[in-house]
DNA sequence: CAGATTTGACCGTG
DNA sequence: CACGGTCAAATCTG
């Protein structure tokens, strides 16, 4: 992991440096009361930089010590003992019964580059799509490709902008993950924005080894992710986020929750923070 | 041809 | 009964 650590450290430094520079720029912008759009843009970029840095740190912590995550995520709940029976009866009776409700909600590492070739560590296969009432975009349903072969029951949903043209997922949430035997609704990683520049894939693909990642499959998934990165530049409006996503996230259970930059003793210029309030 | 995607139907829940 | 999640046949793709 040393190689990864060194590389990620550069990312963190780069992001934090960029955030500082952008903050300075914003400071200058605010003085003569320049355009609101420009200020908003800069704020977004600043937040993006800090989020990216924190995301990398969080991902690193998770990869280095996943057990810590499990511990933080809380107790497990036994899966329904009817599980296998349900599957069998479902096939015969074509009647679905409710599986035991246990879930893990994970905000995927958007924009850290981690999702580039590896996404979130899973190979997703789309199994359905629905137009959701009141939603601008249809919601797509994905499950782990290895559901059958490795018993991976991870699933996720995402709402996307005009799937036919290019996928621009507004959110992506892992809802279930049997392999972790979790029964929690927890965010492992804090939210983060996209990197302003595409990440180099090779660095991560060589270093991270998430479960169930098969380099021979899911080309489409990853190519779409990259497509999204290219086309989607933090123009996300609030309405584009699902209810789940928009719920206030508890950072306290984050593996690196104490790294919440807003509370870190970083030498933030109080005036800068006041400036943020301005928006 | 195997695996992925699409899409209408089915089903559970509130 | 409306809505959202899932199934599964049809279709597509490499």
Which one is predicted more confidently, A119 or A30?
A: A30
Closest CA to A20 of A278, A268, A271, A275: A268
pLDDT at A35 over 60: yes
Which of chain C's bases lie under 7 Å from a protein CB? Answer: 2-8
Q: So what's the pLDDT on residue A16?
A: 75
Beta carbons within 8 Å of A218's beta carbon, 6+ residues apart: A119, A123, A124, A145
Confidence of residue A108 (pLDDT cuts 50, 70, 90): very low
- Which residues put CB within 7 Å of chain B, the nucleic strand? A 94-98, 123-130, 140, 145, 163, 217-218, 220-221
Closest CA to A199 of A6, A58, A38, A7: A7
How many other CB atoms are found less than 10 A from the CB of residue A49?
25
Tell me how far apart the alpha carbons of residues A113 and A150 are, in angstroms, rounded to a whole number. 26
Confidence of residue A17 (pLDDT cuts 50, 70, 90): confident
Which one is predicted more confidently, A6 or A103?
A: A6
Residue A260 burial by Cβ neighbours in a 10 Å radius (0-12, 13-18, 19+):
middle
Tell me how far apart the alpha carbons of residues A17 and A113 are, in angstroms, rounded to a whole number. 18
Distance A146 CA to C12 C1' (A): 21
Tokens of A194: 């996209």
Per the prediction, chain A carries an average pLDDT of 49
Give the nucleotide at minimum CA-to-C1' distance from A90. C7
A184-236 residue pLDDT tens: 333 333 333 333 333 333 333 333 334 333 333 333 333 333 333 333 333 33
Distance A229 CA to C6 C1' (A): 29
Using the C1' atom of nucleotide C8, identify the protein residue whose alpha carbon is closest.
Answer: A127
Looking only at Cα atoms, what is the longest distance across chain A?
71
A160-169 residue pLDDT tens: 554 333 433 4
Tell me how far apart the alpha carbons of residues A89 and A190 are, in angstroms, rounded to a whole number. 40
Which of chain B's bases lie under 7 Å from a protein CB? Answer: 3-13
Mean pLDDT, rounded, for A63-83: 38
Does at least one atom of strand C sit less than 7 Å from the CB of A275? no
A223-252 residue pLDDT tens: 333 333 333 333 333 333 333 333 333 333
Tokens of A173: 């949430």
Distances (CA, A) of A8 to A62, A68, A108: 13, 20, 17
Crossing angle between the packed helical segments A36-64 and A2-30, to the nearest 10 degrees: 160
Tokens of A113: 């580059």
Task: For chain A, give the number of residues.
Answer: 279
Tell me how far apart the alpha carbons of residues A58 and A64 are, in angstroms, rounded to a whole number. 10
């Amino acid at each position: 992991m040393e190689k990864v650590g060194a590389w990620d450290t550069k990312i963190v430094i780069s992001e934090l440096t960029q955030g500082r520079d952008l903050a300075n720029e914003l400071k200058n912008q605010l003085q003569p009361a320049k355009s609101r759009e420009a200020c908003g843009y800069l704020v977004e970029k600043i937040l993006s930089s800090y989020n990216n840095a924190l995301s990398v740190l969080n991902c690193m912590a998770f990869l280095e010590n996943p057990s810590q995550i499990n511990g933080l995520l809380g107790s497990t709940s036994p899966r329904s003992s009817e599980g296998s029976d349900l599957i069998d009866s479902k096939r015969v009776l074509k009647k679905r019964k409710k599986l035991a409700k246990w879930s893990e909600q994970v905000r995927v590492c958007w924009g850290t580059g981690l999702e580039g070739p590896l996404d979130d560590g899973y190979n997703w296969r789309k199994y359905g799509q629905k137009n959701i009432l009141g939603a601008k975009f249809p919601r797509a349903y994905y499950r782990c490709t290895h559901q059958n072969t490795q018993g991976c029951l991870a699933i996720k949903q995402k709402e996307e902008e005009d799937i036919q043209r290019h996928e621009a997922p507004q959110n992506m949430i892992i809802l279930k993950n049997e392999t972790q035997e979790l029964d929690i609704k927890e965010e492992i990683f804090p939210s983060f924005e996209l990197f302003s520049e595409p990440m180099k894939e090779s660095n991560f693909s060589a270093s991270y080894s998430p479960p169930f990642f098969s380099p021979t499959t899911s080309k489409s998934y990853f190519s779409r992710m990259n497509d999204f990165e290219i086309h989607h530049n933090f123009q996300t409006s609030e309405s584009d986020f699902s209810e789940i996503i928009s719920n206030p996230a508890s950072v306290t259970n984050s593996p690196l929750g104490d790294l919440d930059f807003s509370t870190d003793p970083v030498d933030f210029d109080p005036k800068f923070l006041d400036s943020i309030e301005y928006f």
